[in-house]
Structure 1
Amino acid sequence: MSHSDAYDVVIVGGGHNGLVAAAYLARAGRSVLVLERLGHTGGAAVSTRPYPGVDARLSRYSYLVSLLPRRIVDDLGLRFAVRKRAVSSYTPEVRGGRHTGLLVDAGASARTRAAFARLTGSEREYESWQRFYGMTQRVAERVFPTLTEPLPTREELRTRIGDDAAWQALFERPLGEAVEAAFDDDLIRGVVLTDALIGTFARAHDPSLRQNRCFLYHVIGGGTGDWDVPVGGMGALTDALADAARAAGARIATECEVTAIATDGTSAEVRYEGEAGESTVAARYVLVGAAPRELARLLGEEPPAPPAEGAQLKVNMLLRRLPALRDREVDPREAFSGTFHIAEGYGALEDAYRQADAGELPHRPPSEIYCHSLTDPSILGPELAREGYQTLTLFGLHTPARLFTEDNDAARTALLRATLAELDAHLAEPVTDCLAHDADGRPCIEAKTPLDLDAELRLPGGNIFHRDLAFPYAQEGTGRWGVETRHANVLLCGAGAVRGGGVSGIPGHNAAMAVLGE
């Protein structure tokens, strides 16, 4: 066993949050070592070419950006940009025997108003939509700036929001109550509810308010709730972060798997396996980007109570062309550039939840889809872009990890088949007829279940948030920044921190501030 030099800070995991922390700390003059298990940095925020011989660089796991504060980009001098999506969402529907749908164009209110009227026969639901999302935007404008500050108390945050009706709707009562009070149309209710179910297995009236917490983080990003496309793919962000950390003096070591952490609260030792075999490095602080389950294992402690399991299917596709829609009034280039909702009516979401909760794959799997390459064609090689190839990213809901434990491969195949069938019901041609093929003649499509994400990224049960999301205010034991553990010099800097989840860099920033504040 070798013993390397001591560092001020050792960071376990080179995901985007770990890299944010490394860059801030190194810029502040701290000596920093990042230890990454895989052969590359980025964690779940990476771009890869998953199809042999095909020049398409896809955001393989996480894929859109909303919660990343501009402050972090500016502080670290990142060469990274996002683009707005031209259309917010499109939701197809069959009504009265005809194919129709709801196109929400955030930049054209008159057009969106007309789309609501076409779907429902009146403008009443559009007015309700404006009021509801006006409320969420006001909350976003007040809450988002607090995410990079020390945790407010519950009452401080409530006072800052300054709207008791909004506080009750989002923080106190099950979200389903607010959705049902605001909207009458089943499809529109479902479109609103989906933001509460991304990677979260819950129902509209879940008394745990798990759905409220998920919804909140999906509507406060940037103070607007916009979900933007990372130019160059998600890997462009983590590559920029790695460059910033190295430029500031941080050392990043890949293919180094941390196997144990020992601490007395003042100093720590981190053991890891690398090319040279087993090594130990000393540190004043250890920041952990892995899930709390993994941190407990490294400390040799009892794991925390099992976190809420992951509940998503992630599918990446490369198409030779976009399929035509059965709704002939909507251009597929618009429909797929925003969030394309499938089987996400309010009643359909409840049915899918009940079936999954009973141990069955949903009969009509709900999912949402978008096309990165319509907004940012730079992820495609020049020839693919010239020939009209497009990417599709699909994110399925209400598919908890427990559904895959008996036979992951068989369940994945069955779920993918059923999910694509739901999409095909609204297309003029099967999406599989549009798939590109790789150099070996295989269709360019891959699917990841919660168990796949656990195996590849060590997300507990495939939980993309590492554990249940928390409201962004202080609770017993959360500490000043929401990154603290029971060990004074061991901090969480990943999604498992309070105000974690999503591609935000916020836990990394806050862990760095906790260190620098000391």
Structure 2
Amino acid sequence: MARWVTVSKLLHHINGQTRRCHSSVLTSGRKYDAIIVGGGHNGLVAAFYLAKAGKSVCVLERRHILGGAAVTEEIIPGFKFSRASYVLGLLRPKVYDDLELKRRGLKVYPRDPSSYTPLHERNWQSGYGKSLILGPHEDQNYQQIAQFSKKDAEMMPQLESLLGRFAEALDHLLDCPPPDIKKFFSTGLAGKAKQLSTVGPLVKAASILGKDFPQFYELMTAPTTKILDRWLESEPLKATLATDSVIGAMMSPNTPGSGYVLLHHVMAQMSGVRGAWGYPEGGMGAVTQFMAQAASETGAHLFTNQACSLVSPVKIILLGDKNEAVGVETEDGSRLYAKTVLSNATADTTFLKLLPAVAVKSLPDFKANPNNRKDTVMPHHRCTIHLNCEKTQLLEEAFRQASAGLIPDNPMIEMTLPSSCDPTLAPPGCHVALFFTQYVPYTRADGRSWNEETKTEYGNKIFNIVEEYAPGFKESIIGYEVLPPPELERVFGLTGGNIFHGSMSLDQLFISRPSPTQPSPFTPIDGLLLCGSGAHPGGGVMGAPGRLAALSS
């Protein structure tokens, strides 16, 4: 009989009862080859690969819906919101193909154009443009950028080409586990030989970089502003590009290493086009529902917190005589056993324990690019819309204020209108607007908590800013939801409200993700693996951490 010991605060709770999403019934004492705690997209991907390999798999999701932070929910009747993720592009092609997501019905609307930065009228200058619209067409980009700088219009294709080569080189690292340097030096010749095989992707990446390696190293270690200042001179363009270097990270474009976050977003692909993003029909939840379908059809047992009265929240991970993970115990004392436990929770949650969504009755009408007719979708409505992005300095100022616990005077705003492409998200004539805003402090310096009053205040602040660019926007609002960092933590289990399960800084990447002492997906506990965004290669709806964890089981 095994000697059961516990690891306190090791996993987040699976709140409430779990709902059976498979023909199997979840009962105490049931044995599986693998238990996955958390039904986010990586957990579902891991479940698919494990079940495909013939293993019995159980997925336990703390909420009433599968998908983690990539879900679609009808927060306001008739309006469907992608609550905590809003565009698709980082999903690995291997995962997309293996789970046959296209055959299952996943439809993605590519964005053309893709980026819209209207300038506030106080920044309008005679002889210069009032907005910057970028997309996949080089000639149109040239015309747009040339409004502000002909030099930048000529340099931009060269910069994009260089970043594309960097992204191509890193492709090989995203689909392979990082080498375990610690294990290499602590094993015999056979173990060393096995570890050497994991170095192959590094060698391939280096060969692709070639003479560009010095510039690649600089991008990885330098502030984004240093790189952009060398290549470009126009602030609207630099600020627009700089937003991708801080998304989901509490850093500014002046922070060393912020260049990697920029590159991470450049690695997006859509229909074979590098750097392209799109809107999934039905919202981001459509992606994870098709993933769940793939996992279930392959044999995985998927459970949420609805309907199964035999299951209560997970309390601990069970360890055996050799301190290896052997299962989980729920709060009512029920136990489920497994050879391997995979955690789709954040690393912080696993080991230790602001996105407003708006329903509107009309499209925003931007001063910089007025609508031709009421309710007519303009090209820039399909873009990621950048507000308070006329100058890179605005991003730095917002970062400094939030770091001091203050609500920024001019928060960076990324606004999307997915219903401009996907009519299934809102009633006819109405639209859904999603806002990703930075930077927002988890703990406020004024001592006030994040409650309905402070969330409403913040929402109004964002809406007032949009109103300055697009008069009439506030009047069009039917309803909205605000998710500050503590709410992202409570609802989706995102520790600290971090959508990437941890910083994407250089000290927490590749062989140091989540810790330099143990590269993921492995952990210091035998039989316990990380399969979420806190594992290599990081955050975003990629599916790679889930696939790598499953292949390592």
TM-score of the pair, normalised by structure 1: 0.86
1:143 Cα deviation after fit: 1.3
Is 1:505 the counterpart of 2:504 in the alignment? no
- Matched residue SS, 1:396: strand
Q: Look up the match of 2:328.
A: 270
- Matched residue SS, 2:79: coil
Query: Following the alignment from structure 1 to structure 2, what is the Cα–Cα distance between the partners of residues 400 and 136?
Result: 31
Query: Following the alignment from structure 1 to structure 2, what is the Cα–Cα distance between the partners of residues 295 and 83?
Result: 35
Q: Look up the match of 2:279.
A: 229
Is 1:140 the counterpart of 2:167 in the alignment? yes
- The amino acid that maps onto 1:214 is V
Q: Look up the match of 1:321.
A: 362
Query: Following the alignment from structure 1 to structure 2, what is the Cα–Cα distance between the partners of residues 3 and 285?
Result: 17
8 A contact 1:105–1:112 mirrored in 2: yes
Q: Look up the match of 2:394.
A: 348
Q: Look up the match of 2:111.
A: 85
Structure 2 unmatched ranges of 5 or more? 1-26, 179-197, 306-311
- Matched residue SS, 1:179: helix
Q: Look up the match of 1:108.
A: 137
8 A contact 1:5–1:282 mirrored in 2: yes
Is 1:374 the counterpart of 2:414 in the alignment? no
Question: Superposition RMSD on alpha carbons, in Å?
Answer: 2.4
Query: Following the alignment from structure 1 to structure 2, what is the Cα–Cα distance between the partners of residues 481 and 512?
Result: 15
Query: Following the alignment from structure 2 to structure 1, what is the Cα–Cα distance between the partners of residues 412 and 55?
Result: 47
2:92 to 69, 86, 110: 69
Q: Deviations over 1:190-234 (max 9, x none)?
A: 111100111211122224x2x233222211123712222112211
Q: Look up the match of 2:79.
A: 56
Gap change, CA 1:214 and 1:13, over 3 Å in 2: same
Q: Look up the match of 2:185.
A: none
- The amino acid that maps onto 2:538 is G
- The amino acid that maps onto 1:323 is P
- The amino acid that maps onto 1:413 is T
Query: Following the alignment from structure 2 to structure 1, what is the Cα–Cα distance between the partners of residues 142 and 538?
Result: 35
8 A contact 2:46–2:546 mirrored in 1: yes
1:454 Cα deviation after fit: 1.0
Q: Look up the match of 2:10.
A: none
- Matched residue SS, 2:382: coil
Query: Following the alignment from structure 1 to structure 2, what is the Cα–Cα distance between the partners of residues 261 and 167?
Result: 41
- The amino acid that maps onto 1:190 is A
Query: Following the alignment from structure 1 to structure 2, what is the Cα–Cα distance between the partners of residues 502 and 199?
Result: 9
1:7 Cα deviation after fit: 0.8
8 A contact 1:23–1:76 mirrored in 2: yes
Query: Following the alignment from structure 1 to structure 2, what is the Cα–Cα distance between the partners of residues 459 and 144?
Result: 26
Is 1:398 the counterpart of 2:443 in the alignment? no
8 A contact 1:90–1:103 mirrored in 2: yes
Q: Look up the match of 1:441.
A: none
8 A contact 1:186–1:347 mirrored in 2: no
2:47 to 13, 22, 25: 22
1:392 Cα deviation after fit: 0.9
Number of residues of Structure 1 aligned to a counterpart in Structure 2: 478
TM-score of the pair, normalised by structure 2: 0.81
Gap change, CA 1:394 and 1:56, over 3 Å in 2: same
- Matched residue SS, 1:9: strand
- The amino acid that maps onto 2:217 is Q
Is 1:496 the counterpart of 2:523 in the alignment? no
- The amino acid that maps onto 2:499 is I
1:338 Cα deviation after fit: 0.5
- Matched residue SS, 2:410: coil
- The amino acid that maps onto 1:137 is G
- The amino acid that maps onto 1:400 is P
Give % identity.
30
Query: Following the alignment from structure 2 to structure 1, what is the Cα–Cα distance between the partners of residues 433 and 229?
Result: 31
Query: Following the alignment from structure 1 to structure 2, what is the Cα–Cα distance between the partners of residues 408 and 456?
Result: 14
1:330 Cα deviation after fit: 6.9
Structure 1 unmatched ranges of 5 or more? 299-312, 437-443
Gap change, CA 1:29 and 1:155, over 3 Å in 2: closer
Query: Following the alignment from structure 1 to structure 2, what is the Cα–Cα distance between the partners of residues 416 and 40?
Result: 26
1:460 Cα deviation after fit: 1.1
Q: Look up the match of 2:194.
A: none
Query: Following the alignment from structure 2 to structure 1, what is the Cα–Cα distance between the partners of residues 443 and 135?
Result: 37
Gap change, CA 1:39 and 1:346, over 3 Å in 2: same
Gap change, CA 1:354 and 1:496, over 3 Å in 2: same
- Matched residue SS, 1:360: coil
Q: Look up the match of 1:358.
A: 404
- The amino acid that maps onto 1:485 is T
8 A contact 2:365–2:472 mirrored in 1: no
Query: Following the alignment from structure 2 to structure 1, what is the Cα–Cα distance between the partners of residues 347 and 100?
Result: 30
Gap change, CA 1:257 and 1:401, over 3 Å in 2: same
Gap change, CA 1:172 and 1:105, over 3 Å in 2: closer
Gap change, CA 1:502 and 1:96, over 3 Å in 2: closer
- The amino acid that maps onto 2:469 is H
